[in-house]
Amino acid sequence: MKFRRPKNLNYRETVRFHGHDGPFLALGYRLGRFFNKELNPSGIMDFKISVSTKRRKPYTCLLDGLQCATFATLGKGNIAIRSISGEAIIVRVKKGRSVLKCSMTQRARAMCFKVEDLEKAARQVLRTPIKQLWRIEK
């Protein structure tokens, strides 16, 4: 059975789901919206996403942003996290034969780490062009 995609969640709904605003949530949400635009999914199982990062906060906040933007979820098993050391975050998405590999940029790292105001940092991430946040390989 193929389930159609529901209406996309907006960022305010994503913050509500996560419980608070922050730059890693915004980073995941922005990347998920980019995946939707580039790959045009029609069902809730169209994406298979793999996230390689540290398995602790604030890194894992990115997962909630991705889940809310793409409808890929840990529960459905079409998003997975792979624990790695270091500060890198690498996200791979697959839809059919299309694959995108995205690595967080130094600029995004600077915006997300050691911030005093999480909401201000999130707004900055939301305003920054996606290619300044992620190195994207097709």
CATH code, domain carrying 39: 3.30.1330.130
pLDDT of residue 7: 86
pLDDT at 41 (0 to 100): 94
Residue 87 has pLDDT above 90, yes or no: no
**Residue 15: pLDDT band by 50, 70, 90 thresholds?**
very high
Asked if the structure places residue 2 within a domain, the reply is: no
Q: State what percent of residues in the chain have pLDDT above 90.
A: 90
Quick one: pLDDT at residue 1? 63
In a domain, 29, yes or no: yes
Compute the C-alpha angle 34/36/38, nearest 5°. Answer: 65
> Strands 48-53 and 90-95, how do they pair?
antiparallel
Residue-range definition of the domain harbouring residue 114: 11-137
Number of domains the chain contains: 1
- Give a yes or no: residue 45 inside a domain: yes
Q: Residue 51 is inside which H or E element, if any?
A: strand 48-53
Q: What six digits make up the tokens of 98?
A: 């299309």
- The tokens for 96 are 């059919």
pLDDT of res. 114 = 82
Is 33 within the bounds of a domain?
yes
Residue 68 placed within a domain: yes
pLDDT-derived band of residue 101, with 50, 70 and 90 as boundaries?
A: very high
Asked whether residue 126 is assigned to any structural domain, the reply reads yes
Does residue 5 fall inside a structural domain? no
Mean pLDDT of the chain: 95
51 vs 7: which has the higher pLDDT:
51
pLDDT score recorded for residue 4? 76
Mean pLDDT across 17-39: 98
pLDDT score for 122:
98
Q: Which helix (H) or strand (E) holds 68?
A: helix 61-70
Q: Look at residue 4 and tell me if it is in a domain.
A: no
Q: What is the pLDDT of residue 130?
A: 98
Cβ pair 4, 43 in contact under 8 A: yes
- Kindly state the percentage of the chain with pLDDT values over 70: 99
3 pLDDT tier (thresholds 50, 70, 90): confident
